[in-house]
Amino acid sequence: MRRYVLAALVAILPAGAFAQAPEPAAVTQLRGMLGSNVRLDYASATATDVQGSAALTGVVLTKDAETIRIAEARLEGLREDGIARLSLRDIQLQGGGVPMRIGRLDLESLTVRRPPRGQTPKPDALAADLLRIENWQSEGPTPVKIGLVTVENYGAGRQGQVSVTALEVGISGGPVDRVTVARMGYSGLDTAEILTAVIDQRPPQAQPGRSSLDIESVAVTRQGQAVARLGSFSMRGELGGSRPPNGSLALRGLEVLPAPPHAEWMQRLGYDRLGAEARMEATHDPATQTVDMPDLSIELRDVGQIALAFRASHVPENMTPQAAQDIRLISARLRYADLSLFRRWVRTAAARENMGEDAFRQRLVRQANSALAGPTLTDARNAMARFLRGEATVLELSANPRVPLRMSYVQGKPQTTLAGWQNMFGLSLTAR
């Protein structure tokens, strides 16, 4: 019966109905762009109404031992120097160094500027309005999972944005085995110029405007147990406008839990966890070549706080090793405020040596007096003694040289005594 049906179909249908449909022009063009060393196969390919467009299923790209399988692919506006839109679904990469799978990839308004003959294209030769990657999974010694990656406004001279969400990285052979990041991203940077500058081994060209970097909700674990957490880390920068270039950073909600290798000393000092905050502000005026950092502070909750401030001149916009020798220190300040760390250490160390705390502190004072001997260090000895005895909780070291101090001069005339360094840098130590 089936033979009669087939015979009837052959008689009814026009000649050539069973011939393979011609390949869409966009697919043929794609073959040429891929090159002769890449083989392109597919299960089906259908041309669409838009020139340079086609929809494909069961796509297989093969180059040597590497294979890329794509369940669905859609090309729109393919041309010699790029494509208006590319959409891929269920991508599998095999045979390379690291097996990889991507749930979805979308690319919009890609343009590729061809380099001169014999030269390799650099990152600034590409431009695209949008790259979006969903459900990235790679295997190997360091497996990586990413929920979503977006790259917007990429290209030379363009201030773009990059965002990565739901990042998970597996680590083998170390003190931790897993790192997760809820979100990380930056904006206002010329990514193409930065990548090209790295390849060319040169400083990237600065672009006026505002830029930012944000990292949110980081967790570090070992065998399923949390080792450290970070609430957020952010950086801000501004170039141009009514004031000199400036930047700031802030770290919030850092928490370190007892785990090797630091668990033993945390427990010995009575810390069940460590919490930290940090911030920094700085300004660089290219006209006067002056850097001013009024605040760089790190606070460990219930431990201590370290704060640094400095001002320097002869700092060019594009730093080189030679220019670094000419940097001149105008002033600096380093402050430590003890919140409980020193008191805990004294108590623990004194008990370990079977000494009373007061006797242990007096021994520390004698050692400090010996190290800070000399008539010019009297104020420093007194300040250190107050801190060691527990009469003060803050130590502040200030540097105010008589004239801006050139770094090459410091390296060329190393001092052999503390009094010599005190005289060179105009050092003073105070306690409160």
**What is the distance between the alpha carbons of residues 112 and 129, in angstroms, rounded to a whole number?**
12
- The label of the residue with tokens 């500058």 reads 197
Q: Which of 19-33, 85-99, 312-326 has the lowest mean pLDDT?
A: 19-33
| Those residues with Cβ within 8 angstroms of residue 249's Cβ, 6 or more apart along the chain or in another chain | 233, 234, 235, 236, 278, 279, 280
Q: Are 427 and 397 in contact (CB under 8 A)?
A: yes
Is the model's pLDDT at 103 over the cut of 50?
Answer: yes
Residue 244: how many CB atoms within 10 A of its CB? 17
- Tokens (6 digits) for 337: 């405020």
Higher pLDDT, 97 or 74: 74
- Over its C-alpha atoms, the chain yields an Rg (Å, rounded) of 32
Section 218-235 average pLDDT: 91
Euclidean distance between the first and final Cα of the chain, in Å?
Answer: 105
Q: What pLDDT score does 190 carry? A: 92
**What is the distance between the alpha carbons of residues 343 and 339, in angstroms, rounded to a whole number?**
8
Q: What pLDDT score does 224 carry? A: 82
**What is the distance between the alpha carbons of residues 253 and 231, in angstroms, rounded to a whole number?**
4
Count of alpha carbons within 13 angstroms of residue 428, beta-carbon side: 9
Q: What pLDDT score does 177 carry? A: 87
Q: Give the pLDDT band of residue 173 (cuts 50, 70, 90).
A: confident
Judge if pTM exceeds 0.75.
yes
Q: Are 383 and 430 in contact (CB under 8 A)?
A: yes
Backbone angles phi, psi at 288, to 5 degrees: -100, -5
Q: What pLDDT score does 120 carry? A: 84
Q: What pLDDT score does 309 carry? A: 97
